[in-house]
Amino acid sequence: MNELWPWMLLAGLGAFHGLNPAMGWLFAVALGVHRQSSAAVVRAVPAIALGHAASIALVAGAVFAAGLIVDQDAVRTGTGAGLVAWAIWHYFFGHRRRVRIGMRTGLAGLVLWSFLMATAHGAGLMVLPALMPLCLTESPLGALGGNGSVATAMAAVGVHTIAMLAATSLVALAVYRWVGLEILRSAWINVDLIWTLVLLGTGALLLIV
């Protein structure tokens, strides 16, 4: 279980990111409604997942590089402080920095939008607690030969992205075909606040442990 939990956490966070409307499924549904085509929804989701993966990959690359030159405690402390600071910034100012992309955008525009949204929301920072045991030099996975390797970081991004892609696809198609956007008026959950609390809680946990 000690070896599996980072992968399970990466998949769980991927599903959580996919369920967040700000990460893309709402945009995919809006495109489908605008173009009156479920195919538009299907085409949008992989592009959104690709942009999200690029943002996560940047963080994974940074963690891998840090693991070569910095001890794990320093990275953990810096990550915790960064998460707490990002949560505070996002709560007070994040809603003023929305990325605007029109309904006529192509797939390249969707990739760029998704990359910027994931980065602005700190999605990469959120997966750091799962990435650190896999990529840092003091990881117990060293005995398995997977510690600190580029392949491990790429696999971590892949697991996270696949889970995010699956969750985004299911929600986007369900809302477009069966549920409808009217549910947003009667059953809306403040996912943005939940996101901020998760960032804050994760950062505090890294600082305390």
C-alpha torsion angle, residues 173, 183, 18, 87 (rounded to 10):
160
Q: Is the pLDDT of residue 34 over 70?
A: yes
Q: Is the pLDDT of residue 131 over 90?
A: no
What is the rounded end-to-end Cα distance, in angstroms, of the chain?
Answer: 19
According to the model, what pLDDT value does residue 97 have?
A: 59
According to the model, what pLDDT value does residue 75 have?
A: 82
Q: How many other C-beta atoms can be found within 10 angstroms of the C-beta atom of residue 190?
A: 8
Write a three-state SS string for 61-113: HHHHHHHHHCCHHHHHHHHHHHHHHHHHHHHHHHHHCCCCCCCCCCHHHHHHH
pLDDT tens-digit map of 141-166: 444 444 446 788 889 999 999 999 99
Q: Is the pLDDT of residue 3 over 90?
A: no
Q: How confident is the model at residue 99 (pLDDT cuts 50, 70, 90)?
A: low
The full length of the chain comes to: 209
Percentage of the residues of the chain whose pLDDT score is greater than 70:
86
Dist CA 102 CA 201 (whole Å)? 34
Choose between 191 and 37: higher pLDDT: 37
Element (H, E) at 22: none
pLDDT tens-digit map of 52-71: 999 999 988 887 787 777 77
